[in-house]
């Protein structure tokens, strides 16, 4: 039975049926009663309600309740909203079959790269597993039986010295200008293997120039990391005008300005993230594999193979 009682300035509704207990506070007694009635109906008719819940409703609930707790909330919210506009979202959870997601996969592959489809399938699968394990809306994940596309080969694009000099000329040397600082951030990334988001988030209170260490409180894998700084990395930092954050750029500004510099310099097929590949390849000549993994934040040593791009010719020279 439902219980409605005063709670501070509002009303607490408590429901206990068939071993299921739920509770929530509302500003008015009527809102509490309405909620309690819905909860009792859902508990008593769980299978029927679950089967009739649409995928769109599940995606909306996940975006509202789960996504905000994640670091990648913005990217995830955009993807979930796109999922909700797809015809598959109109299906009820009880109707979902692997063939529906196979058709969705094939349609997406005609629009975007296999890598994008793989990431979207991972997000979709996470939503469905939450609906299965935490919300009890399905007994199995229909996406688990759908084949993922073959992953694309890892990028091996490294900037050449000529390309770096051309971009340097376009960006200019005056670091009072955001365009110059965007290219300066690229040079800093080549020295440290730091990601773009880590660089734009740097603040001076987390940098010790004397000890040559930058502390990253938040990283992609969720763990803090201390990045050792080369003498060149320190020089690049000391050349910057004092501002907060250190490079005075947002992630969006860095992305836009780097692309502008790259395009004006006539450089093709180069991304800011390629600096990470180049940096790891350079650092591998100076550090052992464990020190390198610690510096760049890889907990799985196999990931270094994705980023390490030294050519066979260069390795042969090192052999003597």
Active centre residues (catalytic): 195, 220, 298, 308
The answer to whether the bond into 245 is cis (omega within 30° of 0) is yes
The pairs formed by 304-310 with CB atoms below 8 angstroms and a separation of 24 or more are 304/280, 306/154, 307/154, 307/276, 307/277, 307/280, 307/281, 308/280, 308/281, 308/284, 309/156, 309/158, 309/277, 309/278, 309/280, 309/281, 310/281, 310/284, 310/285
Distance CA 288, CA 285 (A): 8
Bridge partners of residue 23, in order along the sequence: 14
With tokens 């509202």, the residue in question is: 64
Contact 185, 199 (CB under 8 A): yes
């Amino acid at each position: 039975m439902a219980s409605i009682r005063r709670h501070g300035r509002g009303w607490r509704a408590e429901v206990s049926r068939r071993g299921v207990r739920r509770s929530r506070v509302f500003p008015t007694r009527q809102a509490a009663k309405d909620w309690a009635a819905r909860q009792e109906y859902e508990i008593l008719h769980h299978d029927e309600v679950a089967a009739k819940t649409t995928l769109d409703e599940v995606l909306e609930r996940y975006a509202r309740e789960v996504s905000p707790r994640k670091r990648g909330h913005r990217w995830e919210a955009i993807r979930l909203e796109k999922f909700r506009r797809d015809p598959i979202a109109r299906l009820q959870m009880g109707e979902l079959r692997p063939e529906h997601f196979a058709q969705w996969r094939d349609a997406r592959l005609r629009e975007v790269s296999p890598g994008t489809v793989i990431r979207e399938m991972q997000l979709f699968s996470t939503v469905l597993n939450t609906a299965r394990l935490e919300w009890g809306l399905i007994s199995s994940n229909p996406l688990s039986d759908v084949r993922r596309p073959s992953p694309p080969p890892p990028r091996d694009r490294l900037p050449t010295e000529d390309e770096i000099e051309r971009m340097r000329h376009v960006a200019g040397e005056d670091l009072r200008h955001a365009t110059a600082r965007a290219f300066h951030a690229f040079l800093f990334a080549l020295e440290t293997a730091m990601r773009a988001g880590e660089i734009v988030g740097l603040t001076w209170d987390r940098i010790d120039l004397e000890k040559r260490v930058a502390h990253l409180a938040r990283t992609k894998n969720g763990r803090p990391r201390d990045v050792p700084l080369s003498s060149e990395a320190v020089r690049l930092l000391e050349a910057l005008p004092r501002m907060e954050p250190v490079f005075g750029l947002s992630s969006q500004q860095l992305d836009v300005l780097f692309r502008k510099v790259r395009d004006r310099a006539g450089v093709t097929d180069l991304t800011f993230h390629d600096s990470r590949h180049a940096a790891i390849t350079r650092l591998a000549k100076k550090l052992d594999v464990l020190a390198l993994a610690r510096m760049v934040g890889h907990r799985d040593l196999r990931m270094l193979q994705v980023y390490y791009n030294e050519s066979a010719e260069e390795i042969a020279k090192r052999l003597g």
